[in-house]
């Protein structure tokens, strides 16, 4: 976990040193949420394209997968009712959890449920020879959830990657001192690995530079961000 207060202080210190003005807590929190999401989404592409090696500490794919594992959740889906645009409803629709981000698997009583494409989904349900059974169930993603065949199932086990909680700095300034209020109900640190702190600072500075119309800040932050990413290739 990365301290949002440390990141906020770093951003303000760099801006003040360069006489580039001040970023308000509200602006900072907006930039912080966007920066966290960018880094979080980058985990998945890095995991796909990174090359494995024999070192435990320099194996980029392994390191990224460990970062993703922090967000892995397991839950149970119950049947809901989805009304499609034509007005017809279906009882084989299961809505994803509210913090859902990416699906890992669906399982029922030890049987993995296979994902199939839209056209194939229609085809397998129209033929008695290919119709899904309880031993060979299938699903298709649909409108924030999944439709599972055959119908009449419930309590589906789901493995998924959740969204990171939004970071939110809460505090103020007293006698020129920045004071943080971690006890506030809406205070949240970044949920990313501590190693992401330099990249968070760089990305937030880039957003801040655009707002303050300071292209040199944007360029310097972008260059630092690129340098950080290159060390992770």
- Report cis status (omega within 30 of 0) of the bond before 150: yes
pLDDT at 15 (0 to 100): 82
- State the distance between the two ends of the chain, measured CA to CA, in whole angstroms: 22
Closest CA to 8 of 168, 128, 185: 168
Of 26, 28, 27, whose CA–CA distance to 7 is shortest?
28
Q: Model pTM?
A: 0.77
Percent of the chain whose predicted confidence (pLDDT) is above 90:
44
> Which H or E run contains 171?
strand 171-174
Helix (H, G, I), strand (E, B) or coil at 106: strand
pLDDT of 185 above 80: yes
Comparing 106 with 174, the larger pLDDT belongs to 106
Instruction: Give residue 124's pLDDT.
Output: 81
The answer to whether residue 212 scores a pLDDT higher than 50 is no
Task: Give the confidence band of 83 by pLDDT, cuts at 50, 70, 90.
Answer: confident
pLDDT at 21 > cutoff 70: no
* pLDDT digits 0-9 by tens, 132-173: 888 999 998 888 899 998 888 888 999 999 999 999 999 987
pLDDT band at 82 (very low <50, low <70, confident <90, very high): confident
What is the per-residue pLDDT for 153? 85
Residue 182 has pLDDT above 80, yes or no: yes
Q: Where are any strands of DSSP class E within 31-164?
A: 72-77, 80-83, 89-95, 100-108, 111-112, 114-115, 138-141, 145-149, 156-162
In this prediction, residue 54 carries a pLDDT of 53
pLDDT of 224 reads 52
What gap in Å lies between CA 12 and CA 35, rounded to an integer?
16
Q: Is the dihedral of CA 222, 224, 227, 231 positive or negative?
A: negative
What does each C-alpha distance from 65 to 4, 40, 98, 103 come to in angstroms?
Answer: 23, 11, 23, 15
The mean pLDDT value for 163-184 works out to 89
The stretch 2-15 carries a mean pLDDT of: 91
pLDDT at position 57: 52
Checking if the pLDDT of 17 tops 90, the result is no
Q: What's the chain's average pLDDT?
A: 83
- H or E element at residue 179: strand 177-180
Residue 128 CB-density burial (10 A; 0-12 exposed, 13-18 middle, 19+ buried): exposed
Residues 66-94 have a mean pLDDT of 85
The Cα 61–Cα 63 span in angstroms is: 5
Of 119, 111, 188, whose CA–CA distance to 150 is shortest? 111
Average pLDDT over residues 201-208: 88
Q: Judge contact between 71 and 53, C-beta under 8 A.
A: no
Residue 40 or residue 209, greater confidence:
40
pLDDT range class, residue 187, cuts 50, 70, 90: very high
Pairing of strands 114-115, 72-77: unpaired
Q: What is the DSSP code (8-state) at residue 50?
A: P
Q: How do beta strands 156-162 and 72-77 pair?
A: antiparallel
Among residues 121, 141, 123, 173, which one has the least CA distance to residue 16?
Answer: 173
**8 A C-beta contact, residue 125 and residue 148:** no
Q: What is the pLDDT of residue 137?
A: 92
């Amino acid at each position: 976990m990365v301290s949002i207060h440390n990141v906020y202080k770093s951003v303000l210190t760099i801006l003040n040193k360069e006489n580039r003005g001040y970023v308000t807590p509200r602006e900072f929190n907006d930039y912080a949420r966007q920066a966290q999401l960018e880094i979080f989404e980058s985990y998945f592409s890095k995991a796909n394209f990174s090359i494995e090696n024999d070192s435990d500490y320099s194996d980029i794919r392994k390191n990224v997968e460990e970062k993703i594992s922090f967000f892995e959740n397991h839950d149970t889906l119950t049947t809901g009712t989805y009304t499609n645009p034509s007005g017809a409803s279906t009882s084989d629709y299961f809505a994803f959890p509210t913090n859902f981000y990416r699906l890992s698997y669906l399982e029922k009583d030890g049987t993995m449920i296979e994902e199939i494409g839209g056209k194939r989904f229609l085809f397998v349900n129209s033929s008695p020879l290919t119709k899904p059974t309880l031993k060979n169930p299938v699903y298709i993603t649909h409108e924030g959830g999944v439709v599972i065949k055959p119908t009449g199932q419930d309590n589906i086990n789901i493995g998924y990657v959740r969204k990171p909680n939004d970071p939110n700095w809460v505090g103020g300034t007293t006698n020129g001192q920045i004071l943080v209020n971690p006890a506030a109900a809406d205070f949240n640190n970044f949920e990313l690995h501590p190693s992401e702190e330099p990249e968070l600072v760089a990305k937030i500075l880039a957003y801040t530079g655009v707002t303050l119309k300071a292209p040199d800040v944007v360029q310097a932050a972008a260059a630092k961000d690129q340098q950080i990413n290159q060390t992770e290739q």
